[in-house]
């Protein structure tokens, strides 16, 4: 959990700043309350951070230094192995890299930050304009008109799952249901990856050897989510 | 005349126009000067055929390089930030600032945490 990281590394001068990219505060609130978050936990119903940082999926992490400089290109990190058997993301290398950077033992990124920074195309930005239009119409109760703009946004930026999956709850589509699996399956069938982690902390077989993970007990997980 | 809604990134305004949207450049923060359309230090030339006053939205979007989508049936237009503006900001290395609320509605900015390392973590309930 990020709360644990915040507590562990806070004394070393780190703030964990989480951004829930959700349609409402009420969608995000249970996650923040369940985490017992004492770190700043913000809510971005307008995809502002996604737009500014060109984020196209969640989770996305960005490391920023004391001077407000981005010191590591956006990456996919899970700091808990709780659901690692589903996500296929092991926390070993991300955690080690984060601790080493915070303690000044290693640079935040071994590569060229600028060269590895992903920037948006005109089509990506047009997709964001279309998403904003759909979201505004939806908020006015004009859902039928909104739908075509969510579809259009996904056509303009098919890699942008912040839009394609993030719009599903707005559109009344289960974001973890058949439509989601169809979308991800089609994307993979075209030879694309759903997540694009940076290579230096990407999960590899040695992570599982060094720190085995437990298979998820779904009954236990459901029980905890419901309480 | 019809009331159009113009979404300019986070800002939502209304504009009176005909069935084809025309916008005064000032709505988007641009000022018409002898040298063209200007905002801050930047000016872009305007074709001399474009009359003073409101400019056709599609043409205005092209002039100032803003991605634009229009729903003519709903009378809503949405302008995004130019890709080059986003790219330049990200490649400058300075983390773009933002201001967002917490669950209690209290606003926080990224710059509130200047002087500390920040792990910015975007996630979602979906």
pLDDT on residue A215: 79
- A62 and A104 share a domain? yes
pLDDT tops 80 at residue A221:
no
pLDDT on residue A214: 81
pLDDT tens digits for range B61-89 = 999 999 999 999 999 999 999 999 999 99
Residues 132-171 of A with CB under 8 A from B: 132-133, 136-137, 142, 145, 149, 152, 165-166, 168-169
Residues B54, B61: Cα–Cα separation, whole Å: 12
Considering the domain boundaries, does residue A217 fall inside one? no
Both structure tokens of A213: 């993970």
Both structure tokens of B3: 């009331």
Beta strands in A1-67 (DSSP E): 14-20, 41-43, 60-64
Our CA-based measurement puts residue B90 at a distance from the nearest CA of chain A, in whole angstroms, of 7
Report the mean per-residue pLDDT for chain A. 95
pLDDT tens digits for range A74-115 = 999 998 898 898 889 999 999 999 999 999 999 999 999 999
Q: Do A117 and B7 touch (CB under 8 A)?
A: no
List of residues 6+ apart from B81 with CB closer than 8 A? A51, A125, A128, B9, B66, B67
Residue of A nearest to B98 (CA): A49
- A135 and A72 share a domain? no
State which residues form the domain around A143. Answer: 122-189
- A57 and A28 share a domain? yes
A18 touches chain B (CB under 8 A): yes
The whole-number average pLDDT for the span A158-183 is 97
Considering the domain boundaries, does residue A157 fall inside one? yes
- A127 and A203 share a domain? no
| Structural domain total, chain A | 2
- A73 and A14 share a domain? yes
Specify the residue for token string 């507590």.
A7
Considering the domain boundaries, does residue A165 fall inside one? yes
pLDDT tens digits for range A48-84 = 999 999 999 999 999 999 999 999 999 999 988 988 9
Q: Do B119 and A17 touch (CB under 8 A)?
A: yes
Percent of chain B with pLDDT over 90: 96
Q: What is the CATH number of the domain that holds A83?
A: 3.40.30.10
Cα B72–chain centre separation: 19
Q: Do A19 and B120 touch (CB under 8 A)?
A: yes
Report the complex ipTM: 0.97
B111 touches chain A (CB under 8 A): yes
Considering the domain boundaries, does residue A168 fall inside one? yes
- A166 and A208 share a domain? no
- Contact of A57 with A76, CB cutoff 8 Å: yes
Considering the domain boundaries, does residue A53 fall inside one? yes
pLDDT tops 80 at residue B55:
yes
Considering the domain boundaries, does residue A93 fall inside one? yes
pLDDT band, very low/low/confident/very high, at A204 (cuts 50, 70, 90): very high
| Cα Rg of chain B, angstroms | 18
- A107 and A55 share a domain? yes
pLDDT tops 80 at residue A218:
no
Considering the domain boundaries, does residue A218 fall inside one? no
The whole-number average pLDDT for the span B10-19 is 96
Cα dihedral sign, A162-A166-A171-A174 = positive
Q: Do B91 and A114 touch (CB under 8 A)?
A: yes
pLDDT on residue A227: 61
Q: What does DSSP say about strands B31-33 and B117-123: parallel, antiparallel, or unpaired?
A: unpaired
The whole-number average pLDDT for the span A18-26 is 97
Q: Do B81 and A70 touch (CB under 8 A)?
A: no
């Amino acid at each position: 959990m990020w709360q644990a990281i915040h507590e562990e590394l806070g004394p070393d001068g780190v703030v964990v700043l989480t951004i829930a990219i959700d349609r409402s505060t009420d969608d995000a609130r249970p996650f923040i309350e369940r985490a017992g978050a004492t770190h700043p936990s913000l809510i971005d119903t307008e995809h502002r951070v996604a737009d500014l940082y060109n984020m196209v999926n969640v989770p996305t992490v960005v490391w920023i230094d004391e001077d407000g400089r981005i010191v590591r290109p956006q990456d996919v990190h899970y700091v808990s192995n709780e659901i690692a058997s589903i996500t296929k993301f092991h926390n070993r290398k991300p955690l080690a890299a984060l601790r080493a950077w915070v303690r000044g033992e290693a640079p935040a990124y071994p590569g060229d930050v600028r060269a590895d920074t992903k920037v948006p195309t005109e089509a990506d930005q047009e997709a964001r304009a279309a998403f904003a239009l759909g979201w505004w119409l939806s908020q006015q109760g004009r859902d039928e008109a909104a739908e075509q703009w969510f579809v259009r946004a996904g056509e303009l930026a098919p890699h942008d799952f912040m839009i394609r999956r993030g719009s599903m709850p707005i559109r009344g589509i289960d974001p973890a249901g058949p439509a989601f699996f169809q979308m991800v399956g089609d994307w993979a069938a075209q030879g694309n990856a759903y997540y694009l982690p940076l290579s230096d902390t990407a999960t590899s077989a040695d992570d599982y050897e060094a720190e085995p993970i437990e298979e998820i007990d779904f009954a236990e997980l459901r029980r905890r989510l419901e309480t | 005349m019809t009331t159009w809604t113009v979404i300019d990134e986070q800002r939502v305004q209304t504009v009176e126009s005909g069935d084809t949207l025309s916008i005064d450049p000032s709505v988007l923060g641009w000022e018409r000067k002898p040298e063209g359309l200007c905002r801050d230090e930047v000016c872009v030339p305007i074709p001399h055929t474009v009359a003073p006053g409101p400019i056709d939205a599609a043409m205005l979007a092209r002039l100032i390089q803003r991605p634009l989508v229009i729903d003519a049936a709903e009378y809503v237009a949405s302008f995004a930030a130019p890709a080059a503006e986003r790219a330049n900001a990200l490649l400058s290395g300075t983390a773009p600032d933002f201001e967002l609320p917490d669950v209690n509605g209290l606003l926080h900015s990224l710059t509130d945490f200047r002087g500390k390392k920040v792990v910015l973590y975007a996630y979602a309930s979906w």
